[in-house]
Amino acid sequence: EIVLTQSPATLSLSPGERATLSCRASQSVSHLAWYQQKPGQAPRLLIYNTSNRATGIPARFSGGGSGTDFTLTISSPEPEDFAVYFCQQRSGWPPSFTFGPGTKVEIK
Amino acid sequence: QVQLVESGGGVVQPGRSLRLSCEASGFSFSNYGMHWVRQVTGKGLEWVAIIWSDGSQAYYRDSVTGRFTVSRDNSKNTLYLQMDSLRVEDTAVYYCARALEHHRYFDAWGQGILVTVSS
pLDDT at residue B88 is higher than 90: yes
**DSSP assignment of B54-73:** TSS-EEE-GGGTTTEEEEEE
- Structure confidence at residue B102 (pLDDT): 83
Is A42's CB within 8 Å of B103's CB?
no
Mean pLDDT value of segment B21-33: 97
Angle at A32 between CA A13 and CA B43, to 5 degrees: 60
Point out the least confidently predicted range of A79-83, B14-18, B19-23, B108-112: A79-83
**A54 DSSP 8-state letter:** P
Q: Chain B residues with CB inside 8 Å of A98's CB?
A: 47
Question: Would an 8 Å CB–CB cutoff place A86 in contact with chain B?
Answer: yes
pLDDT tens, residue by residue, A3-62: 999 999 999 998 889 999 999 999 999 989 999 999 999 999 999 999 999 999 999 999
Residue A80, pLDDT score: 93
Percent of chain B with pLDDT over 70: 100
What are B29-40's pLDDT values in tens digits?
A: 999 999 999 999
Please state the rounded mean pLDDT for residues B47-60: 97
Scored b (16 or more CB within 10 A) or e, B63-100 reads: ebeeebbbebebeebbbbbebeebeeebbbbbbbbbbb
- At residue B72, does pLDDT exceed 90? yes
User: How many CA atoms does the CB half-sphere of B119 hold within 13 Å?
Assistant: 4
Q: In Å, how far is B76's CA from the nearest CA of chain A?
A: 24
Asked whether residue B2 carries a pLDDT value surpassing 90, the answer given is yes
| Predicted pLDDT of residue B63 | 96
Contacts of B46 (CB under 8 A, 6+ apart): A99, B37, B38, B39, B40, B61, B92
Report pLDDT for B103: 85
pLDDT band at B68 (very low <50, low <70, confident <90, very high): very high
Q: Do A42 and B110 touch (CB under 8 A)?
A: yes
The stretch B29-54 carries a mean pLDDT of 96
